[in-house]
């Protein structure tokens, strides 16, 4: 039998406010954003915190949404599933996403994350403007700005991990910390 208490206890200890596992659809994103907005209103968060968390949530969720297809080649529907969690600590909101990625795509993604993590606040601003203005648009409209924007708005490094599942796919975990502005 499934051990619901074990899952509950684990979520409780990790201060998970909300978690979802499954296919990421446009309607789901709308619902999650609405739920989180209500939650933050109920928790009487200040508007600066709400805006930061909301903005970063949008980018994280849409990253997941746009890259859900990336690991499905020949692996069936299982790999269209992702996990998404929001944890609340005393001084921050942590957004955690996890999804499958083809091993051959790890190198490129890791290089991009490391590149963003190596930049200072000022450098991120310049980098954002140059990518914004480079005239390139990915088919999905993202244009490669998501990670830069997240790093810029949070002022934190992007924490990530690749867990190799087999010789085709790995599981990619991304942890974004949004420190609450009034507590900085």
Partner 1 sequence: MEKYAIEGTPKTPTISFDIQGGVLEIKGRSIPENSIEFYKPLVDALDKYSTAAKPATTVNIQLEYFNTSSSKCILDVFKKLESIHKGGSAVTINWHYEEDDEDMLEAGEDYQAIINVPFKMVQVAE
153 neighbors 52 (Cβ within 8 angstroms):
yes
Q: Least distance (Å) from partner 1 to the CB of residue 169?
A: 24
* 125 lies in the site for partner 1, by CB under 8 A: yes
Q: What CA–CA distance (Å, rounded) separates 93 from 141?
A: 27
Scanning residues 5 to 34, which ones bind partner 1 (CB under 8 A)? 26, 29-30, 33-34
- Residue 123's nearest CA partner among 157, 152, 147 is 152
* Other beta carbons within 10 Å of 168: 15
Q: Pick the closer one to partner 1 by CB: 68 or 169.
A: 68
Nearer of residues 152 and 168 to partner 1, judged by Cβ:
152
In 3D space, the residue among 181, 155, 149 whose CA is nearest the CA of residue 45 turns out to be 181
The contact set with partner 1 (CB under 8 A) reads 26, 29-30, 33-34, 47-48, 51-52, 54-55, 58-59, 62, 65-66, 125, 128-129, 132-133, 137, 140-143, 145-146, 148-149, 153
């Amino acid at each position: 039998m499934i051990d619901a208490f074990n899952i509950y206890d684990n979520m409780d200890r990790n201060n998970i406010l909300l978690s979802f596992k499954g296919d990421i659809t446009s309607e789901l994103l709308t619902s999650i954003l609405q739920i989180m907005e209500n939650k933050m209103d109920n928790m009487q968060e200040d508007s600066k915190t709400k805006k930061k968390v909301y903005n970063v949530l949008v980018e994280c969720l849409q990253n997941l949404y746009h890259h859900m297809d990336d690991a499905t080649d020949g692996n069936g529907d299982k790999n269209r599933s992702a996990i998404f969690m929001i944890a609340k600590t005393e001084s921050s909101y942590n957004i955690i996403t996890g999804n499958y990625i083809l091993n051959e795509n790890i190198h490129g993604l890791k290089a991009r994350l490391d590149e963003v993590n190596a930049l200072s606040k000022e450098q991120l601003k310049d980098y954002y403007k140059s990518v914004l203005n480079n005239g390139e648009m990915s088919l999905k409209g993202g244009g490669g700005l998501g990670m830069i924007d997240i790093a810029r708005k949070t002022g934190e490094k992007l924490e990530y991990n690749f867990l190799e599942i087999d010789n085709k796919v790995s599981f990619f975990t991304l942890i974004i910390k949004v420190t609450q502005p009034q507590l900085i």
